[in-house]
Structure 1
């Protein structure tokens, strides 16, 4: 019996020791799990607390463009603005590329020091520049839009705002997350418009104005209508009076036949080449048209009221380009 009693006591002691050991392991395991969970939480908190830039890059929002809803970065950092670099620069944003066309070159007036993207080549070439947002204008139809969208989230400007540089600027400012800067730029632009309109009205009054482009490729003159996206604002916003040939046009531009040149009896004529500069050797042949008897017979030519403008920004309807056109008009047409 004594031996049995000792055995039972020994077994009980062993069980007690095992229970204490198991309890200790359970306690340690719980503490380890709690500590691990704490580390994950701290790591997540540190990541979100110390990497706001990373979080911003990860955030997205849904906006509506011409073709529907599109998910874009809330804070885009690398923007490609095809044909809308002018607006990005006005918003103090440097795009990752600048559009380039072998026939037209680039918009030199923007003075951008970025790689060129050939719009006549493969859209996939944009992959090299790793944009996180692409903005395109009316030059992108659905097919091109879908191709751009394969490179990066793409926003296509709504068709109904493409005639209004203020609306384009405001829309792009919203898309890139800089609405306040957009309002600031628009306010300054509208102030400049109002000031220029008053000065031009005083200097020119109701005298008629026409804008023509010397087409270098075929030695013709293109008359720009009041709906032209490049120059229509000089009538609609600056209040200049379009020549009857201009005001009656339904198209953005029309080629003037040689017989129609004498009908362009506007008081003031603005002219710029389609390519290059006035001094470019390749433009000499086309410039002979401006030395013809028909051209020299026009009232504006006789009265020294033909203004030779620089084609780069006169062939753009964007807000920076328009501001530069205003400077030209004030310089050429006011005392």
Structure 2
């Protein structure tokens, strides 16, 4: 799971990176001088013969230099009006939904990455040094509640950092619009949201017809601990099944105040939900750790559950079931429709 980072950037490391960049820039300077002079002459000739093209280039450069102010969790921050190289730490899902590729993808050694995004970009270990992020030269960094003020201040030394307000972090739709706005594409955000809401409305209607008031629960198998965690209706990752798709939570789920709770064997006996979705905490179902943990499902108490006896337990992929992003939600909804309303 996400781990807060409080590491600070060391001056020596920064100086080394800058010195390395300067050394690269200086290599072959004598040879490059003639090339640069030739390029400048060609550019001047182009400008003289095509002033309209020259004006368009100037307008683009001016636009790229524009800034604006957004209100983040830790105060106002000035960000590029048209960011080009964006790091969205924990926010990659929304960027992908908007058609924007982040410069890095967050990674945690004990959790992995959000595999479902299929990103081909450098990974940034959020438990390690920020130099890997610095190396990608972002012009904007966006973060959510996974970054506390110390981490925010570290990121801010690399590039303007927009930490989304805490008040919106339980609502993926608000996050989508905030990310789209920060990227300078609010219209695209509205377009993606409209498509998302149409999917939700269509799925909800079909589920009402197919499932009715049958109860649903979501369980995570904790491989290392060999325990089970029940996810509540307020869980940021799976709460959308109930709040948006309109599924009926099992009473144990609906009454839960916590985002999730480890369930004892006695408590598990009371989980007589009609349908249960289950996923491993990390890795895939074929890993040795999860195969070992899966032996919990052979216990009599699990085998006695209504959903098990009726064949209504559904194994699903953990990375998007443990994410509350727009893309992740849509993939969860696909799983729900496949199993409950085929």
**When the two structures are superposed, what TM-score results if normalisation uses the length of structure 2?**
0.83
Deviation at 1:234, TM superposition (A): 0.4
- Equivalent residue number for residue 85 of structure 2: 78
CA RMSD after TM alignment: 1.7
| In structure 2, distance between residues paired with 1:50 and 1:119 | 38
Does the 8 Å contact 2:74/2:149 carry over to 1? yes
Deviation at 1:46, TM superposition (A): 9.4
Deviation at 1:56, TM superposition (A): 2.2
- Equivalent residue number for residue 219 of structure 1: 226
**Where do residues 102-141 of structure 1 align in structure 2 (5 Å cutoff)?**
102-141=109-148
Find out whether 1:185 has 2:184 as its counterpart. no
| In structure 2, distance between residues paired with 1:187 and 1:219 | 41
| In structure 1, distance between residues paired with 2:313 and 2:56 | 62
Does the 8 Å contact 1:131/1:152 carry over to 2? yes
| In structure 1, distance between residues paired with 2:62 and 2:209 | 55
- Tell me, what secondary structure is at the counterpart of 1:330? helix
- Equivalent residue number for residue 318 of structure 2: 311
| Among 199, 204, 210, the residue aligned to 2:206 | 199
Deviations 1:186-232 (A, max 9, x none): 00000000000011111111111100000112010000000000000
- Tell me, what secondary structure is at the counterpart of 1:173? helix
**Where do residues 22-171 of structure 1 align in structure 2 (5 Å cutoff)?**
49-171=56-178
| In structure 2, distance between residues paired with 1:120 and 1:300 | 39
- Tell me, what secondary structure is at the counterpart of 1:263? coil
1:261–1:70 distance in 2 versus 1, CA, 3 Å: same
**Where do residues 223-302 of structure 1 align in structure 2 (5 Å cutoff)?**
223-302=230-309
- Tell me, what secondary structure is at the counterpart of 2:64? helix
Does the 8 Å contact 1:271/1:309 carry over to 2? yes
Does the 8 Å contact 1:48/1:55 carry over to 2? no
- Equivalent residue number for residue 21 of structure 1: none
| In structure 2, distance between residues paired with 1:258 and 1:61 | 54
| In structure 2, distance between residues paired with 1:275 and 1:304 | 24
Does the 8 Å contact 2:224/2:289 carry over to 1? no
- Tell me, what secondary structure is at the counterpart of 2:96? helix
Deviation at 1:279, TM superposition (A): 1.3
Deviations 1:76-114 (A, max 9, x none): 000000001000001100000000111111111000010
| In structure 2, distance between residues paired with 1:289 and 1:69 | 49
Unaligned 5+ residue runs, structure 1? 1-41
Of stretches 49-58 and 295-304 in structure 1, the one that deviates more from structure 2 is 49-58
Higher Rg of the two aligned structures? 1
Q: Identify the structure with the greater helix proportion.
A: 1
Deviation at 1:151, TM superposition (A): 0.6
Deviation at 1:54, TM superposition (A): 2.1
- Equivalent residue number for residue 41 of structure 2: none
Unaligned 5+ residue runs, structure 2? 1-46
**When the two structures are superposed, what TM-score results if normalisation uses the length of structure 1?**
0.85
- Equivalent residue number for residue 331 of structure 1: 338
| In structure 1, distance between residues paired with 2:287 and 2:83 | 39
Does the 8 Å contact 1:262/1:295 carry over to 2? yes
Length, aligned pairs only = 294
